[in-house]
Each structure stands twice: as C-alpha cells, then as structure tokens.
Structure 1
Amino acid sequence: MTEKEFLSLIQSDKDMMSLLKIIADLGLKDSWLAAGSVRNYTWNVLSGRPGFDYEPDLDVVFYDPDVSYDDTLALEANLQKAYPWELKNQVFMHVHNPDTAGYESARDAISKYPETATAVALRLIDDELELYAPYGLDVISRFEIHPTPYFKASSKSMVLYHERLAKKDWAKKWPQIKVFQD
C-alpha cells in the first residue's frame, strides 16, 4: 500500500477523519493518533472488517515538555470523560523502554516503539492529513511484525518485544499475521 493509497483510505473514512479532527482540536503540541490505533484500523480494513471494532485501541500521543506528568494524567482523565482513549505525553514515555534516553519529539518516540507495524501515526494539521511511518507501510499491509531497529539493538529491549508478542497475541484476531524474531 502506498502512502497516497493509505491517506486516501483514511480520508474516505468519516469516523477516522472525525477522530483526527477531535485530536487536532485538543490543541496539544505535536499530537498524533498513533500505534495500535492506526495499525489495528489498517489490519481491520485489509481483513474486510470495519476499521473500528469492538476492541478500539485509541492511542493519542503528544510531546510537550511544558506539560507535567501530573498535568498529563489530568488531561487524560478529562479526555476520558468523553472518550475512552489513552493520552500519553511522550516526554515521559522513555522510562518504559530499557536504557532509553528522553525523547526529543513525538516522532522520535514513535520511531522507537517496539514493532515496525506499531511505529505509525496520523494527524491533521490545518485540515491536511499527515502520516508518519518511519518504517513504511509495507510491513503493516503485509501483516508483518518486526522489531524496530531501536529494539533490535538491545537485548533488554528484545525481551520486552517478546513479552509484548506473547501478551498481544495479534494472530488470534488476524491469523494472517507473520511474526519475525529478527
């Protein structure tokens, strides 16, 4: 799937565009719909299912060093009054990955997610759709799970990668998934 085809798919989906508009209207710096939200949506559509199903995985990420951890939690709690979404300030998320320095932007954080298929994000900027997929869309459209180069470079990170594979068990929902240990 090319970037143009992917963006066309997103633009033609009223629910996805509404979701991206809500996120844009939050006014958070460097904010994106990311990770499982975009990956699962794509796998669902490619599998002939509705984009959003009974297990929405809506991950809203942003990067703002001026928003404290406690303020981020308050923002998330307020957001969850209307939407069951996760809201994570990527300024603080590096602590969840072994031996990881602080991130410099949301894109930096996304590029260091565990799997290449998870390292993907969308946003609206001035009503224009923007995609960030540092490892491309091919692995997503082929239903492949690979560790990102960042995770492959660390044995501690690869332990986390394998734990996530076992926990997520994506093949149960999408049997065409191919998992790579490399």
Structure 2
Amino acid sequence: MFQRRFDRKKGAAPLNASLNAAGEGGYGSAQIGRLIDIVLSSPTMEKLLRSAPRLGLGDYYIGAGCVAQTVWNRLSGLPPEYGIQDIDLVYFDDADLSEDGERRTALEAERLFAELPIRLDVKNEARVHLWYERRFGYPIEPYGSLEEAIDTWPTTATAIGVRADGQGGWRVYAPYGLDDLLGLIVRPNKVQITRHIYEAKTARWTSRWPGLNVVPWDGE
C-alpha cells in the first residue's frame, strides 16, 4: 500500500476558507478574492460554479487543472478556455462506493451542463482507491475526506478546490496556499505521485503555457 507523506512546501500557507458575498473573509481573503475574480471571468467556470449546487452533492469541489489553467490563461493573456481539456468535479460519498453510483452522478452533471464546451470529469474521491492501482500501477489507501484527496493532487498549484458556499459566497480549499498558482509556479507535490507522472504533466503544460516556472522533481 502506498504510504502518503504529507510534505507541505516550506513557507506555504494552507487555505481552507470562505469569502462572503461582500468579498470579506479571514486569512488569505485578498488572494481568494483575486482567484475568484479570475475564475468568474471565464463564462464556462462561472456557469459551473454558480450552477453546481443544483446537483445536491453537498461535499464537492470544482478544482485541479480547470481552476489552475483558468488562472494561467488570465495571467498569460490567453482566452479563458484555452488549453483546458476537462473540468474536474469531485465529490465525496463513502456511503456509495459503487461505479454505478458515480456514473449516475456523472450523468446528472452532464445533463445539467450539456451546453458547456469542455468535457466534465466527475469522480467520487471516496472510491479512487478501488481503481488507482489498475490505472497507475500502485495501490493507495482510501481517502478519509475530500480535502484529504486534494492534499495528494500532483502539484501545489493544482491542489485546489472551489465551490459556492450556499450563502452567496465561495469556499476555497488550497492545502499549499495560492502563492504558486498566482505566481505561475508549478511545483511537485510528492505526497502520492511519481516522477514520471509529474514530468509528463509538466511537459504537456509548458507546451501550452511556456511562461510557467516549473520546479524540477529534484529541485527541492
């Protein structure tokens, strides 16, 4: 079983915070406000974030590459949807680990967002351990929460989730903070991924966003 090593980047400030409808929040609210402004400037992301509560999932986030790449596009002067291949909508339901349950949720999301131009990738993070070894070649332990799953995502910049908070504001979970994301820095998160996965992802990303500052796998 793969043993996770939660190795937060030195100096990184984790964010698990809300920004209310008036743009007010606690620690990190200025960065969160900037992030939300950027993400909502994308018509696709705005539609997703404002409509996703209609799925009734409760414990969910829109996150990973679609959020990070929307930011990279804005900071690079590119169209908001440039280079984004799919949209990660993740949720956590450990009461239903079935593939059929996950498929039903995915179909509901696809119906709700049928007009969007980017493919949805809907996953129940509570069941990832059931197929991870088959796809990536090594087993992992079950996640205990949606946030624990995000803690393992491949880079500090893409380890991020955003959702509406149900009160007109926004909830952001970024376990490694927002400095790297807003600074166009891609840094490996070695909690779970391998060097091969990281280098394949960064090679693909830099072909589309050459302004990214990629930290080598052995760079820290």
Which band: TM-score by shorter chain? 0.7 to 0.9
- Using the alignment, how far apart are the partners of 2:84 and 2:156 within structure 1? 21
- 1:173 alignment partner in structure 2: 208
The secondary structure found in structure 2 opposite 1:159 is helix
1:93 corresponds to 2:122: no
Partner amino acid for 1:102?
Answer: P
Name the TM-score, length of structure 1 as normaliser.
0.83
- 2:199 alignment partner in structure 1: 162
The answer on whether the counterparts of 1:41 and 1:52 sit within 8 Å (CA) in structure 2 is yes
Q: 1:37 to 1:104 in 2, by over 3 A?
A: same
Q: 1:159 to 1:10 in 2, by over 3 A?
A: closer
Counting aligned pairs with the same residue, the percent is 30
- 2:174 alignment partner in structure 1: 133
Q: Say which of 105, 124, 127 aligns to 2:164.
A: 124
- 1:108 alignment partner in structure 2: 148
- Using the alignment, how far apart are the partners of 2:54 and 2:31 within structure 1? 28
The answer on whether the counterparts of 2:42 and 2:70 sit within 8 Å (CA) in structure 1 is no
The secondary structure found in structure 1 opposite 2:126 is coil
- 1:69 alignment partner in structure 2: 99
Q: 1:9 to 1:164 in 2, by over 3 A?
A: closer
The answer on whether the counterparts of 2:55 and 2:108 sit within 8 Å (CA) in structure 1 is no
Q: 1:148 to 1:55 in 2, by over 3 A?
A: closer
Partner amino acid for 1:38?
Answer: V
Query: How many residues are treated as equivalent by the alignment?
Result: 176
1:41 corresponds to 2:76: no
- Using the alignment, how far apart are the partners of 1:104 and 1:49 within structure 2? 37
- 2:32 alignment partner in structure 1: 3
Shift of 1:8: 3.5
The secondary structure found in structure 1 opposite 2:123 is strand
Name the TM-score, length of structure 2 as normaliser.
0.70
The secondary structure found in structure 1 opposite 2:181 is helix
- After superposing the two structures, state which structure 1 stretch, 76-85 or 66-75, moved more: 76-85
Name which one, 1 or 2, has greater alpha-carbon Rg: 2
CA RMSD in angstroms, aligned pairs only: 2.3
- After superposing the two structures, state which structure 1 stretch, 89-98 or 104-113, moved more: 89-98
Partner amino acid for 1:43?
Answer: W
Runs of at least 4 residues off by over 4 Å: 11-15
- Using the alignment, how far apart are the partners of 1:48 and 1:116 within structure 2? 22
Shift of 1:123: 0.1
- Using the alignment, how far apart are the partners of 1:157 and 1:57 within structure 2? 22
- 1:146 alignment partner in structure 2: 187
- 1:52 alignment partner in structure 2: 81
Q: Name whichever structure is richer in helix by fraction.
A: 1
- Using the alignment, how far apart are the partners of 1:11 and 1:79 within structure 2? 19
What are the superposed Cα offsets for residues 43-99 of structure 1, whole Å, 9 maximum, x if unpaired? Answer: 011111232236442110000112322210232134334253110000122452644
